[in-house]
A and B are shown apart, each in its own frame.
Chain A
Amino acid sequence: MKAGDPTGSAALTVSDVSKSFAGRPVLSDVSLSVSSGEVHALVGENGCGKSTLIKVLSGYHEPDGGEVRVAGLPLSLGSAKSSYQLGCRFVHQDLGLIDESSVIDNILMNTGFPTRLGTIRTGAARRTVAEDLQRAGLSIKPDVEVGSLSPAEKTGVAVAKALRPDPDSEAKLLVLDEPTATLPEGEVTRLLEMIRTVTANGIGVIYVTHRLGEVFDVADNVTVLRNGYKVATEKVSALTRPELINLMIGHELEEISQEREAIHLTHGEPTLKVGGIAGGPIKDISFTVRAGEVVGIAGITGSGAESLLSTIFGGAPRAAGSVEVNGAQVRAERPDRAMAAGMAYMPPDRKTAGGMLELSARENLTIGSLGPFSSPFWLRQASEKREVKGWFKDLNVQPPTGAENQLGTFSGGNQQKVLFAKWLRLKPSVFLLDEPTQGVDIGAKALLHRQLLAAGEEGMAIVVSSTDMDELVALCERVIVIRDGLIVADLRREEVSLSSISRNALGTQAGGSV
């Protein structure tokens, strides 16, 4: 059922919207239009500009140029209030629900409860929430705790919450930002049914997703973004899956990077052996990394790739399987043992797991081992400062004299350099890096890459997990692709390319290696 085709008025028109951060364009003259009752899929690889476009619609980012109209009325750009009043509603991937509260409480959280003399009218609250749920096509009891619902039902509650009627502003456009990235297969179908119910009420839907199957299941039209440009808007019915993938990946065929060529392919003994590990989204993963090898891990959000390295190191729980470094077993959930065995792990998120932002850069850099300059009763700070100064110089950390400043005062790239030095100085035999250059400027990125490759040449076994596929192609001679918690491809040398990684990560048989 393609309800959207002939629908009349435009729920949203985006005209020539551009946005750049620090001189780097992330959106270039993007235009797109969504009709009332239409489901419009927005797809593209990580970093293509999808989320920036969504944030322009929500008023979080103010674009450098262009115009956005919601149901014909111009959005005052950069204003979240205007976005809401014109009728834009958003459901983000994290949903923003409180698991411990009931469906009623969650849905009425923002708009307030019906009251009499300051007391909540429980009956009226239940009735109005029941209506909201029905509007979203959900048949659940309003009293149950959100935490007890299935993932699709939770998403439905978030949709019902977003679409709650507001006398001052009628909902015109619903943006679903990767609502299904973590949903199991069967649940997706339920969610898609809900979306159909919503569009039947005349609301336009923008559906951001990584799962191409859903595009074909639910969307009327699809817009593909690549590197900030709109590549195409097509009717879904006129498109095949391989065509869509080609639109996403493009024809920019793998330019072999200079960085890659520097690698000498002389590998030593197996250094890291991962045997059948499971935990979280990871179902059963085994692989071996040899000394001097630089291995990439790729996979879309929810595939397990994002937690694989943390599970190996002991940051995240490991339910089964073994990890061996240089022949020695490493216990699960014991980062200290992993480090003692010669592993190092740089977490993806500097704020929550990587850095201690209010301690000084020096304290962050040396926390992994104070041994070289301390006895139990005395930490010789003069020699500590000397070592830190050396690292600042080697990695060109800016400001060069800032070792005593709080880590949080450094730019993202320089924070990452400090944390990189923290692990490099331990001379690990296995170095695991999660998103090593996320939020890092180009100069710092190139420097980190060079350092990594140099470490690889010296015999370090390096594993890089990244959603930036360009990074994997540039760095790695071997890329392991994860889908649904399992390894679906182990690409070697000439097989490593943007398209082969994407094809395997997205799960299609259309061309490329399997």
Chain B
Amino acid sequence: MSRGKINFGFDRFSGLYVWALFIIVFGALRPDQFLSMDNVHLIASQQAIAAMLGLAILMPLACGAFDLSIGANVNLAAVLVTILQVRDGVPMVPAILITVAVGALIGIINGFIIVKLHVSSFIATLGMASIITAAQTIVTNNLEPTPVLSTTWTGLTQNTIFGFQAIFLYLLVLAVILWWVLEHMPIGRYIYAVGSNTEAARLSGLRVGKYTWISLIVSGAITSLAGVAYASLSGPSLTFGQALLLPAYAAAFLGSTQLKPGRFNVWGTVIAVYVLATGVQGIQYITSVQWLNDVFNGCALILAVSFAVWRQRAKVERGTIEEDSGGDSPISHAPGLGDGKHPDGAPSVGGTAVGAIRHEPSPDAG
């Protein structure tokens, strides 16, 4: 960035270039199917849930914490909102509110375990995921709930506006809100500060535990909203959730290489989801192989993180980052990035998978 004035933004906008490439290539190969408005609408709504989950984990990641319970949480929410309406006769709006409250409660418990019991977020939310899955089995008796049949319910996400399903609109609204919170509200600044250097944030007078806790509650609540949307869009299922965990992380990490490289950000995440979706959709028009989605997401996650780490190392080697600051992977608010190696071989603690596992917000949470 600092080297030349002429810069096509390959580093910050590489996702957009890849997106354009996908559209040109698949557009040329399958113009009738791929270049249709129907296809645009299809991709937009198909991936909205994945994008919502990508946004859900954004705040914890920015704060330096993993939330791995979102897969189980989104699943529970979809099942719960359905059962409440069908079995217990709860009207739609209260059912949604109860479900979101349960999601937030999961976030509260996650936060308690991480902040008060000093368990790493990785372990805490991984364990929580298992407990949530058990709770779901108790609620459902392991029988797939009957879907809600009312058109108000299905219309909630499936009604179209300008050709797009409402779910896509919700996604955009959610993204705008989250973007505002993270970029234009003081709390967003505090969250990035905590994720960037917990100790420096604490010594700047921030209540580190408080922000970690808040970010987990927010991710729990957004996740359950995504679950509600899923139930309305596709009907409940007992197992869809875990499959959405990895794509959410792939999107968030890939997103952190876009627009504001090195920083988890809302629009980068949204772009990442749709670049991946466009690629998958395009390939599916050419072959009909089922496993491509998984391969794509797996590769995207690994490539995204390798790319981010490589960028940072290159920066250190060029010396744009001061030598004595080089070891602490400067993408440290991307927990889990990097191999934790100091350029001169000494292991560093912060900003790595190790760092994330050791993530210990201060004991004095609010």
- Mark out the residues of chain B between 186 and 227 whose CB falls within 8 Å of any chain A CB in the assembled complex: 186-190, 192-193, 196-197, 199-207
Q: Which secondary structure dominates chain A's binding surface?
A: mixed
User: What interface size band does chain B fall in?
Assistant: 35 or more
At the interface with chain A, which of B17-25, B298-306, B326-334?
B326-334
Q: Is the CB of B364 within 8 A of A415?
A: no
> Is the C-beta of A47 less than 8 angstroms from some C-beta in chain B?
no
Instruction: List the A side residues contacting B185 at CB < 8 Å.
Output: 374, 376-379
> Is the C-beta of A72 less than 8 angstroms from some C-beta in chain B?
no
Question: A345 to B202, alpha carbons, bound, how many Å?
Answer: 11
- Mark out the residues of chain B between 343 and 366 whose CB falls within 8 Å of any chain A CB in the assembled complex: 344, 350, 364
Q: Is the CB of A351 within 8 A of B196?
A: no
Q: Is the CB of B203 within 8 A of A367?
A: no
Partner of B325, one of A351, A353, A370, A381: A351
> Is the C-beta of B156 less than 8 angstroms from some C-beta in chain A?
no
Q: Is the CB of A379 within 8 A of B189?
A: yes
- Mark out the residues of chain A between 399 and 437 whose CB falls within 8 Å of any chain B CB in the assembled complex: 405-406, 408-412, 415, 422
Question: Interface readout for B226-258 with A: 1 if CB under 8 Å, 0 if not?
Answer: 000000000000000000000000000000000
- The verdict on A356 contacting B200 (CB below 8 Å), with A363-B193, A370-B186, A377-B185 known, is yes
> Is the C-beta of B145 less than 8 angstroms from some C-beta in chain A?
no
- The verdict on A347 contacting B186 (CB below 8 Å), with A412-B322, A412-B324 known, is no
At the interface with chain B, which of A111-119, A267-275, A329-337, A442-450?
A329-337
Question: Interface readout for A326-359 with B: 1 if CB under 8 Å, 0 if not?
Answer: 0000000111101110000101001111111111
Question: A492 to B114, alpha carbons, bound, how many Å?
Answer: 49
Q: Which residue of B lies closest to A415 (CB)?
A: B322
Q: Is the CB of A357 within 8 A of B197?
A: yes
Q: Which residue of B lies closest to A419 (CB)?
A: B200
Question: A60 to B323, alpha carbons, bound, how many Å?
Answer: 14
Instruction: List the B side residues contacting A359 at CB < 8 Å.
Output: 192-193, 196
Question: A76 to B192, alpha carbons, bound, how many Å?
Answer: 46
> Is the C-beta of A439 less than 8 angstroms from some C-beta in chain B?
yes
> Is the C-beta of B2 less than 8 angstroms from some C-beta in chain A?
yes
Q: Which residue of A lies closest to B210 (CB)?
A: A336
- The verdict on A368 contacting B204 (CB below 8 Å), with A357-B325, A358-B330, A376-B186 known, is yes
- The verdict on A335 contacting B205 (CB below 8 Å), with A352-B199, A356-B197 known, is yes
Question: A338 to B192, alpha carbons, bound, how many Å?
Answer: 22
Instruction: List the B side residues contacting A408 at CB < 8 Å.
Output: 321-322, 325, 330
> Is the C-beta of A276 less than 8 angstroms from some C-beta in chain B?
no
Q: Which residue of A lies closest to B312 (CB)?
A: A358
> Is the C-beta of B320 less than 8 angstroms from some C-beta in chain A?
yes
Question: A352 to B201, alpha carbons, bound, how many Å?
Answer: 11
Q: Is the CB of B186 within 8 A of A374?
A: yes
Q: Is the CB of A439 within 8 A of B324?
A: yes
Q: Is the CB of B328 within 8 A of A357?
A: yes
Partner of B197, one of A355, A405, A412: A355
> Is the C-beta of B262 less than 8 angstroms from some C-beta in chain A?
yes
Instruction: List the A side residues contacting B186 at CB < 8 Å.
Output: 370, 374, 376, 379
Q: Which residue of A lies closest to B350 (CB)?
A: A352
> Is the C-beta of A313 less than 8 angstroms from some C-beta in chain B?
yes
Q: Shortest beta-carbon distance, A100 to chain B, in Å?
A: 13
Q: Is the CB of A313 within 8 A of B203?
A: yes
Q: Shortest beta-carbon distance, B212 to chain A, in Å?
A: 15
Instruction: List the B side residues contacting A151 at CB < 8 Å.
Output: none
Instruction: List the B side residues contacting A78 at CB < 8 Å.
Output: none
Q: Which residue of B lies closest to A377 (CB)?
A: B185
Q: Is the CB of B330 within 8 A of A406?
A: yes
> Is the C-beta of A315 less than 8 angstroms from some C-beta in chain B?
yes
> Is the C-beta of B30 less than 8 angstroms from some C-beta in chain A?
no
Instruction: List the A side residues contacting B350 at CB < 8 Å.
Output: 352
Q: Shortest beta-carbon distance, A16 to chain B, in Å?
A: 27
Instruction: List the A side residues contacting B330 at CB < 8 Å.
Output: 357-358, 406, 408
Instruction: List the A side residues contacting B333 at CB < 8 Å.
Output: 358
Q: Which residue of B lies closest to A407 (CB)?
A: B325
Q: Shortest beta-carbon distance, B326 to chain A, in Å?
A: 8
Q: Is the CB of B328 within 8 A of A315?
A: no
Instruction: List the B side residues contacting A374 at CB < 8 Å.
Output: 185-186
- The verdict on A353 contacting B322 (CB below 8 Å), with A358-B330, A367-B189, A378-B185 known, is no
Q: Is the CB of B193 within 8 A of A379?
A: no
Q: Is the CB of B199 within 8 A of A353?
A: yes
- The verdict on A351 contacting B189 (CB below 8 Å), with A356-B196, A356-B197 known, is no
**Can you give 15 A-B contacts (C-beta < 8 A)?**
A334-B364, A351-B325, A351-B327, A354-B200, A355-B200, A356-B196, A357-B196, A357-B325, A357-B330, A358-B332, A358-B333, A359-B193, A368-B204, A409-B322, A422-B204
Nearest first, the 8 A-B pairs at minimum CB distance are: A356-B196, A358-B330, A339-B205, A336-B205, A408-B321, A356-B197, A370-B186, A351-B325
